A and B are shown apart, each in its own frame.
Chain A
Amino acid sequence: MKRMKVVLNFPEDIVEDPITYNLISDYGVQVNILRASISPGKQGMMVVELGGEENRISQGIDYLERVGVQVEPLEQDIRHLEDRCTSCTSCLPHCPTQALDVDRQSWHVTFEPEKCIICLSCLETCIYGAMSVKEHLA
C-alpha cells in the first residue's frame, strides 16, 4: 500500500467531468481530498492523498494526465524558508498535523512536507513570512 500527496490542476474544459469518481471506480485508487478550489468554467485545483497499490496509483496518474489534469508532487508547493524563520514557535498551535514542529532541546523549528495538508494556517500565522506557497495554491 502506497500513499502519496499530489496537487491536481484541472484546465477549465474538464472541470465538470467526474474525474475523481473515475479515478476511484476505474482504477481502485483511494482519494482523500485535503483541499480543493474548483468552480464550473474556471480552472480547478485539488490537493489529494492517493492511496493503493503502486501500479494502480501510477495507472491512475496516467489516466489523469491523459485527460489533461496536471499532476505535481505536493512537496514542492509549500516551503519553509529557513533563513526567514526565527524558530519562535508561533506557527505550532495552528498547524493541525504537526508538519511544523520544534525540537525542545535545540529549539529549532522543522517542517516535514509529507505531513503538510496545505491548510495555509502557517501563512496567516508566521509574522516573518517564513512559509511560502506557490501562487496557484494561495
Chain B
Amino acid sequence: MAKTIEEINKKIRLGKAVVFTAEEIIDVVQKKGAKKAAQEVDVVTTGTFAPMCSSGAFFNIKQPKDKMKLGGGFATLNGVPAYAGLAAADIYIGATALPDGDPRNDNGRPGRFRYGGAHVIEDLVAGKKVTLKGGGYGTDCYPRKSREQRIGFDDMNDAFLFNPRNCYQNYNVAVNLSDKPIYTYMGKLKPKLGNAYYCSAGQLSPLFNDPYYRTIGIGTRVFFCGAHGYVVWHGTQHNPAAPRLGNDTPRSPAGTVALIGDLRHMTTQWLRAASFTGYGITLSVAVGIPIPILDEDMVRSVSVTDAELKAPVVDYSKYYPTGEGEAKIAEVTYAELKSGSIRIKDQNVPTGSFSSYAMAREVAQQLKSLIQKGEFFLTQPQAPLPGAVAGKEAAI
C-alpha cells in the first residue's frame, strides 16, 4: 500500500522510521524484493560531496553608527570582490571570485589559485573574521562613504549559502585526446587519453535516485553542508529532456537543483574551498536529499546500482571547448569508473574522481541518523521541478 509523507513523518516522530542509504537499499531490495522493501522501508537517504562552482553566499552586514550604503558602491572581503549592487547592507560573494593582484594567486600558466571567494566563505564558516572594505557615494540617509572592518557572523544579520546549481544528475567523464596536457575544471588531463576524471556519487547521488523528480521538488528540505537547506528552484542548466536509459536515469548531464541554507549552521567538515591548478577556485559542498519510499516504483528508483548508471566520455581538448569533433567518444558505467580504469579506444585509461564517494557515504549516513533520531523531517514539495515532458518550463 502506498505511503504518504505525513505518515512517514509520524513514524519519524515516534522514532520508528525505517531508513537506509541509497547504497544499503540495494542489498535490501535484492534480498527482500521490491514489494516487501516498499512496505518496510520509509526513507532512503542520498549524498554527495563535490566541487560546485555555482556557489556563493549572501550576507547582510550590520550597519556602523553612521550608516552606509554599499549598494551601487563596492565591497571586498579579504580583498575578494563581492557584488554590492543590492540594498545598503546586502552583498553576495561568489565562490570563484578572485582578489586583484594577490601574490597567493599566480596567474601565469598553468596558474595557481590559492585564495578566493570560496576561501572567504570557508574562513567565515570556520569562525574566522574577514576584512570588509566598502566604498559608496554617501546619501542623506546613508552618510558614510567608506568602511573598513573585521567582520564575522556576529557582525551580520544574515548569512546564507545560495547555490544556483547543484547536484547535477550525471556528469561528463573528461578526457584529453590531444598531445598536450590540459588544465580544466575537470582537473589536469594528460595527453592521449592519459587519464579520465568523473564527478558524481553515482548510486548515492540524489537525482540519480529520483530520476523523474517524483519526490524532489521545490520546497524539499535537504541536508546542506551540515545545516538544513531547501530546494528553492530547479537549478540553472536543468535539462530534464536529456536522453534516458531503460531505468529512467539520464545518459548525460540532466537535472539540477538550486539550494539555499543557513551558512551559520554549516561546518567546514561539509564545506571546503577548492583550488584547481590552471583553472581557478571553487567550493565543495555536501548535499544529502531524503527520498520518501511512497510505493514500489520509488523503491525501484532508489535501488539503482553503479553498474546501471552510464556517463558520456567527452574530449576536453577539442569537443568541450569548441563543439567540434565527436560529441561522445564512449559511454561507461559508474561501476567501470570506480574500478580505477576504463577502456577507451582499446586503451586502459586510469580514472579519478572529484566527487568523494567516502564523503557521499558519510553524508547519507549522517542524514539517515538525523532522521532516525527525529531531528530531520521530510517535506512535501510545493511545486515539482520541470519534468521531461514539461520541458524547461517550471510547472507552477
Residues of A within 8 A of B114 (CB): 129
Chain B interfacial residues counted at CB < 8 A: 33
Residues of A within 8 A of B354 (CB): 88, 90, 127
Give the dominant DSSP class at A's interface: loop
Residue B187 CB within 8 A of the other chain? yes
A104 near B338 (CB under 8 angstroms)?
Answer: yes
Q: Which residue of B lies closest to A102 (CB)?
A: B340
Residue B350 CB within 8 A of the other chain? yes
Q: How far is the CB of B376 from chain A (nearest CB, A)?
A: 23
Q: Which residue of B lies closest to A88 (CB)?
A: B356
What sequence of 0s and 1s flags, for each residue 28-42 of chain A, a beta carbon within 8 Å of any chain B beta carbon? 000000000000000
A93 near B350 (CB under 8 angstroms)?
Answer: yes
A88 near B195 (CB under 8 angstroms)?
Answer: no
Interface residues on A, range: 20 to 34
Residue A21 CB within 8 A of the other chain? no
Q: How far is the CB of B198 from chain A (nearest CB, A)?
A: 10
A86 near B357 (CB under 8 angstroms)?
Answer: no
B340 near A92 (CB under 8 angstroms)?
Answer: yes
Task: Give Cα A129–Cα B187 distance, bound, in whole angstroms.
Answer: 14
Given contacts A124-B188, A127-B274, contact A90 B340 (CB under 8 A): no
Give the A-B contact count at a CB cut-off of 8 A. Answer: 73
Task: Give Cα A125–Cα B184 distance, bound, in whole angstroms.
Answer: 11
B274, B277, B361: which contacts A128 (Cβ < 8 A)? B274
B340 near A125 (CB under 8 angstroms)?
Answer: no
The residues in A between 88 and 105 inclusive whose CB is less than 8 angstroms from any CB of B are 88-94, 102, 104
Q: Which residue of B lies closest to A87 (CB)?
A: B358
B50, B195, B353: which contacts A94 (Cβ < 8 A)? B195
A87 near B340 (CB under 8 angstroms)?
Answer: no
Residue A25 CB within 8 A of the other chain? no
Q: How far is the CB of B6 from chain A (nearest CB, A)?
A: 36
Given contacts A86-B356, A88-B353, contact A107 B195 (CB under 8 A): no
Task: Give Cα A116–Cα B352 distance, bound, in whole angstroms.
Answer: 19
A107 near B357 (CB under 8 angstroms)?
Answer: yes
Task: Give Cα A129–Cα B282 distance, bound, in whole angstroms.
Answer: 13
Q: List 16 A-B contacts (CB under 8 A).
A: A86-B49, A86-B356, A87-B356, A88-B50, A88-B352, A88-B353, A88-B359, A89-B356, A89-B357, A90-B352, A90-B354, A93-B195, A94-B190, A104-B340, A127-B276, A129-B114
- A interface residues, Cβ below 8 angstroms from B: 86-94, 102, 104, 106-109, 124-125, 127-129
Extra inter-chain contacts (17) besides given A87-B356, A93-B350, A125-B187, CB under 8 Å: A86-B272, A86-B356, A86-B358, A87-B357, A87-B359, A88-B50, A88-B352, A89-B353, A90-B353, A92-B350, A92-B351, A92-B352, A93-B194, A94-B195, A108-B358, A124-B188, A129-B275
